[in-house]
């Protein structure tokens, strides 16, 4: 019997939280590295900066709604800010800090592409416009650090419940007692963020951008490889642990979640994008549609992965 | 790809749109893929329990306060039955909250309303609720060597049939401080047996093997009850079937302090099975000297009771070369396995009196020391001894009796002078001995009598030391050179014109003084 406490609301929070953090990290990386300025207009940086605050905020709202009291007495969320012995309090603080900083970062990107907003800012905060690149760079760094926290927290949240659900508390390696989930979720977050902002949005907006930022192919190869290893280690570790953890792993690999895992995650989210990006590195290019397909695969596989982990969570047996 | 006249922020909408599409596609894909995928183990559909700890405050308020309970319970018996220790609510079951298991009406102060729909024993009415958490209850508890009916109960619950056994039959009020599973509370086996008998369960369900998984593989030769006699505690055993009698500390020791777990193998029932010899002497047959009733005391008693042996020990360390040799010196039967190095631990040397006379010419000891003879030995300890065995214990003293310092001519009656009160009385040890015995020990010599010795016996500190002048007891001559070197004397005398002085000293020095 799998756990029933967490459902789609938490899964979508895990997905949106990771996606928002990953998208912002991608934008911040382009900002800090200067690659963003290779073109006058960088849809990846724009999308990553603008969507991250709202979707992480939306995800956090879903998280609150998932709580029983969140629906009836949402003000009780305040108590979560003061219980510093709980990792959830750390997460609440990280989310609380991240969302406004990310929104501000998004505003600084929007200023560049939307004269209407630029006019409003000019009218209210004229000094801000004089130093937009500087503010944007600093905000990118600050929000990038917080984004790592947001992405890691999605994994910490689930691994903190881990002792009750052994699959979620599996270590990175049997002799390395660091929980797997934060690391796996961080890698997956960056991967999905890049897929959305670059492979999908940027490619659809400016197809030739793929030829101009070949570094993204290499980044995808590395991220997919690491993610592949981590998922493999997670399942092997769970099988080796026996009990509920092994039951979870069997459920994923050849149980009711097996098609979703092998097709939705492994084939669509790992193998296909890996082949596409490996081909692109070798051939120096890939087609528009294979790039979009790869991005779509990685994006939806990120959601499937979180669904699998949450729904395959079998409580420890008493 | 996007039309160039579209505003650039359209990509943001595109991103949001793609996210929505991804979520929708995932939501649609999941049921489809799950429907197509194989189901590993068709687990029974379990009901959910509403976690109702927040609704249980009113219950806890009454049931953890004796005064409030007394006000409504009616009798002390009810108070005792329904009172709950507040601390028990901190336990795994107590912290679930009363309403979670007992239902009723939550957060209701009115007793009647609060108790509406109350479930007294959850395992009686909703046993499947217990199995929500306790799904894989073990059929055996190896660490406790117990066999349980969990499998039968679980199957019956899932099948919706009654099996006659409730969770609470064994686990009692698990939410109210009673939790035998933790090991902090030991449930007596008598409780189980009484319950089995009350329910008239078939006879085999009262056998040990019904609940216990015996750790010993001895069922072919004995039953559990041969040793385990108590229904209160498994550790209480009787030793009636033990192959050797257990005494002393062994009677109180746990079986496996000596025996090897679990099948009692590896013992020869000798001391060295467990004990390491703490001393070098002896061998591993500890029982030769020690008894289990008192390890040190028994050895001390042996030492205290041991007799001395009447001969020197030095040079005779190989005791058994004489003792316990067939037909020779017998030793007690219980000494049979003892080794030479243990003899002296108990037995001390107390040598027999030394022979104070010359043996040459007196080899037939019994002629004088035999029964009824002139110097009769103590009969009881010398019974059966012969001349050959005397020297085994009695050694030569190394001194000869004083020689007779005068001629025997005309002096055959020794006691005339040497009897008590005589001119030269013999020692008290000689009391009762007559003249016949004297010459057995004392040798007559040619030593002159006092009257015949013209030279002063106390000459210059000679102090009657005869051999100074008469080496080898040769009284036929004298020998001044012992003190007065001949060469020196010759030189001194020749300087004065006196020659050939050897053996002629007394001619000029009859009193040992200068002329």
Report the percentage of chain B scoring pLDDT > 90: 3
What ipTM, to 2 d.p.? 0.89
From chain A, pick out residues whose CB is under 8 angstroms from the CB of B25.
300
Q: Report the candidate in B55, B108, B24 with the shortest Cα–Cα distance to residue A68.
A: B55
A185 at interface of B, judged by CB pairs closer than 8 A? no
A207 at interface of B, judged by CB pairs closer than 8 A? yes
Mean pLDDT of chain B: 81
* pLDDT of the residue at A315: 81
Q: Report the candidate in B349, B394, B400, B399 with the shortest Cα–Cα distance to residue B369.
A: B394
Nearest C-alpha in A relative to B50? A5
**Peptide bond preceding B262 in cis form (omega within 30 of 0):** yes
A12 at interface of B, judged by CB pairs closer than 8 A? yes
Highest mean pLDDT (candidates A89-103, B277-291, B438-452): A89-103
Report how far apart, in Å, the C-alpha atoms of A107 and of each of A25, A42, A50, A298, B227 are. Answer: 16, 15, 7, 27, 85
Residues 6+ apart with CB under 8 A from A33: none
Report how far apart, in Å, the C-alpha atoms of A83 and of each of A87, A90, B201 are. Answer: 9, 9, 55
A79/chain B closest Cα distance in angstroms: 16
Q: B34, A204: Cβ pair inside 8 Å?
A: no
* pLDDT of the residue at A93: 93
Of B9, B14, B40, the CB nearest to A250: B40
* CA distance from start to end of chain B: 164
From chain A, pick out residues whose CB is under 8 angstroms from the CB of B22.
296, 299-300, 303
Domain coordinates of chain A in residue numbers? 8-311
At A12, the pLDDT band (50, 70, 90 cuts) reads very high
Of B8, B16, B38, the CB nearest to A258: B38
B1 at interface of A, judged by CB pairs closer than 8 A? yes
Which pTM was predicted?
0.52
Query: Which has more confidence, A268 or B363?
Result: A268
> What CA–CA distance (Å, rounded) separates B399 from B385?
25
Report how far apart, in Å, the C-alpha atoms of B129 and of each of A1, A13, A165, B228 are. Answer: 14, 31, 20, 38
Beta-bridge mates of residue B396: B355
Nearest C-alpha in B relative to A4? B48
Got the DSSP string for chain A? ----S--HHHHHHHHHHHHHHHHHHHHHHHHHHSGGGGSS--HHHHHHHHHHHHHHHHHHHHHHHHSHHHHH-GGGGGGGGT-TTSHHHHHHHHHHHHHHHHHHHHHHHHHHH-HHHHHHHHHH-HHHHHTHHHHHHHHHHHHHHHHHHHHHHHHHHHHHTGGGSGGGG-EEETTEEEEHHHHHHHHHHHHHHHIIIIIIIIHHH-TTHHHH-THHHHHHHHHHHHHHHHHHHHHHHHHHH-HHHHHHHHHHHHSTTHHIIIIIIIIIIIIHHHHHHHHHHHHS---HHHHHHHHHHHHHHHHHHHHHHHHT-PPPP-
Of B1, B34, B136, the CB nearest to A205: B1
Substitution target in B24, B30, B41, B46 with the highest count of A β-carbons within 10 Å is: B30
Q: B40, A110: Cβ pair inside 8 Å?
A: no
Sign, Cα dihedral of A75, A81, A83, A87: positive
Nearest C-alpha in B relative to A113? B8
The tens digit of pLDDT for each residue in A86-135 reads 888 899 999 999 999 999 999 999 988 888 888 888 888 877 777 888 88
* pLDDT of the residue at B180: 63
Q: B38, A303: Cβ pair inside 8 Å?
A: no
Report how far apart, in Å, the C-alpha atoms of B62 and of each of A316, B58, B81, B111 are. Answer: 34, 7, 13, 9
pLDDT at B91 over 80: no
The tens digit of pLDDT for each residue in B9-61 reads 888 899 999 999 999 999 998 888 888 888 765 544 455 566 677 788 888 88
Of the ranges A143-157, B206-220, B229-243, which one carries the lowest mean pLDDT score? Answer: B229-243
Of A4, A256, A317, the CB nearest to B39: A256
> What CA–CA distance (Å, rounded) separates B181 from A81?
38
Nearest C-alpha in A relative to B138? A318
Greatest Cα pair distance in chain B: 174
Q: Report the candidate in B234, B252, B241, B245 with the shortest Cα–Cα distance to residue B192.
A: B234
Looking at domain A8-311, what is its CATH homologous superfamily?
Formate dehydrogenase/DMSO reductase domain (1.20.1630.10)
Among all chains, which residue has been given the structure tokens 């093997």? B209
Q: A8, B134: Cβ pair inside 8 Å?
A: no
Strand duo B140-141 + A176-179: pairing: unpaired
Greatest Cα pair distance in chain A: 64
B129/chain A closest Cα distance in angstroms: 13
């Amino acid at each position: 019997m799998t756990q029933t406490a967490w459902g789609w609301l938490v899964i979508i929070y895990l997905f949106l939280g990771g996606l928002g953090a990953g998208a912002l990290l991608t934008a911040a990386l382009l900002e800090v590295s200067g690659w963003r300025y290779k073109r006058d207009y960088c849809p990846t940086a724009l999308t990553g900066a603008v969507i991250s605050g709202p979707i992480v905020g939306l995800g956090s709202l879903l998280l609150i709604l998932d709580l029983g009291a969140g629906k009836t007495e949402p003000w009780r969320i305040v108590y979560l800010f003061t219980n510093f012995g709980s990792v959830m309090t750390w997460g609440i603080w990280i989310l609380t800090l991240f969302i406004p900083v990310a929104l501000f970062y998004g505003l600084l990107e929007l200023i560049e592409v939307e004269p209407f907003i630029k006019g409003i800012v000019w009218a209210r905060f004229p000094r801000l416009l004089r130093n937009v690149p500087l503010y944007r760079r600093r905000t990118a760094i600050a929000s990038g650090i917080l984004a790592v926290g947001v992405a890691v927290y999605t994994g910490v949240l689930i691994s903190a419940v881990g002792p009750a659900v052994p699959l979620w508390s599996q270590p990175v390696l049997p002799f390395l007692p660091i929980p797997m989930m934060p690391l796996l979720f961080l890698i997956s977050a960056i991967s999905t963020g890049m897929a959305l902002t670059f492979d999908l949005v940027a490619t659809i907006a400016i197809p030739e951008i793929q030829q101009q930022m070949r570094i993204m192919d290499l980044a995808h190869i590395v991220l997919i490889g690491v993610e592949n290893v981590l998922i493999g280690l997670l399942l092997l570790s769970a099988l080796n642990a026996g009990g509920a953890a092994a039951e979870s792993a069997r459920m994923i690999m050849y149980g009711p979640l097996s098609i979703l895992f092998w097709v939705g995650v492994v084939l669509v989210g790992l193998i296909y994008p890996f082949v596409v990006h490996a081909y692109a590195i070798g051939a120096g290019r890939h087609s528009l549609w294979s790039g979009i397909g790869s991005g779509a695969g990685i994006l939806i596989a990120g959601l499937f992965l979180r669904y699998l982990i949450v729904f395959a969570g079998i409580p420890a047996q008493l | 790809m996007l039309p160039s006249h579209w505003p650039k922020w359209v990509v943001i909408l595109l991103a949001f749109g793609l996210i929505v599409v991804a979520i929708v596609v995932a939501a649609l894909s999941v049921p489809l893929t799950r429907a197509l995928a194989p189901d590993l183990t068709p687990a029974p559909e379990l009901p959910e329990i509403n976690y109702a700890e927040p609704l249980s405050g009113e219950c806890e308020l009454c049931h953890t306060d004796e005064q409030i309970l007394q006000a409504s319970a009616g009798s002390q018996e009810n108070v005792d039955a329904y009172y709950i220790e507040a601390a028990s609510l901190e336990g795994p079951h107590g912290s679930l909250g009363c309403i979670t298991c007992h239902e009723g009406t939550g957060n209701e102060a009115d007793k009647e309303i609060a108790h509406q729909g109350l479930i007294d024993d959850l395992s009686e009415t909703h046993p499947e609720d217990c199995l929500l958490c306790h799904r894989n209850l073990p059929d055996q508890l190896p660490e406790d060597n117990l066999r349980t009916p969990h499998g039968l109960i679980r199957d019956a619950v899932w099948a919706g049939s009654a099996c006659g056994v409730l969770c609470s039959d064994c686990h009692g009020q698990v939410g109210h401080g009673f939790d035998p599973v933790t090991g902090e509370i030991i449930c007596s086996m008598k409780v189980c047996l009484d319950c089995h008998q009350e329910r008239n369960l078939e006879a085999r369900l009262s056998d040990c093997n019904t609940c216990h998984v015996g750790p010993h593989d001895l069922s072919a030769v004995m039953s559990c009850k041969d040793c385990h006699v108590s229904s209160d505690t498994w550790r209480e055993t009787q030793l009636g079937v033990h192959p050797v009698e257990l005494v002393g500390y062994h009677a109180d020791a746990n079986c496996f302090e000596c025996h090897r777990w679990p099948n009692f193998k590896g013992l020869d029932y000798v001391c060295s099975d467990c004990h390491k010899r703490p001393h070098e002497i002896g061998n591993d047959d500890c029982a030769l000297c020690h008894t289990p009733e008192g390890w040190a005391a028994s050895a001390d008693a042996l030492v205290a009771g041991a007799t001395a042996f009447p001969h020197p020990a030095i040079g005779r360390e190989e005791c058994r070369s004489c003792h316990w040799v067939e037909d020779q010196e017998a030793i007690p039967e219980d000494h049979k396995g003892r080794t030479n190095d243990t003899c002296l631990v108990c037995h001390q040397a107390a040598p027999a009196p030394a022979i104070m006379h010359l043996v040459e010419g007196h080899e037939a000891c019994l002629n004088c020391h035999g029964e009824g003879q002139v110097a009769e030995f103590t009969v009881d300890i010398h019974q059966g001894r012969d001349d050959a065995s005397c020297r085994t214990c009695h050694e030569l003293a190394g001194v000869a009796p004083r020689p007779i310092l005068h001629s025997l001519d005309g002096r055959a009656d020794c006691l005339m002078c040497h009897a008590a009160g005589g001119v030269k009385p013999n020692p008290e040890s000689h009391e009762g001995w007559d003249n016949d015995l004297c010459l057995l020990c004392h040798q007559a010599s040619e030593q002159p009598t006092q009257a015949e010795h013209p030279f002063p016996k106390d000459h210059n500190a000679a102090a009657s030391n005869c051999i100074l002048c008469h080496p080898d007891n040769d009284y036929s001559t004298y020998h001044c050179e012992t003190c007065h070197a001949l060469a020196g004397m010759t030189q001194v005398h020749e300087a004065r014109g006196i020659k050939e002085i050897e053996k002629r000293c007394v001619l000029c020095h009859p009193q040992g003084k200068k002329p």
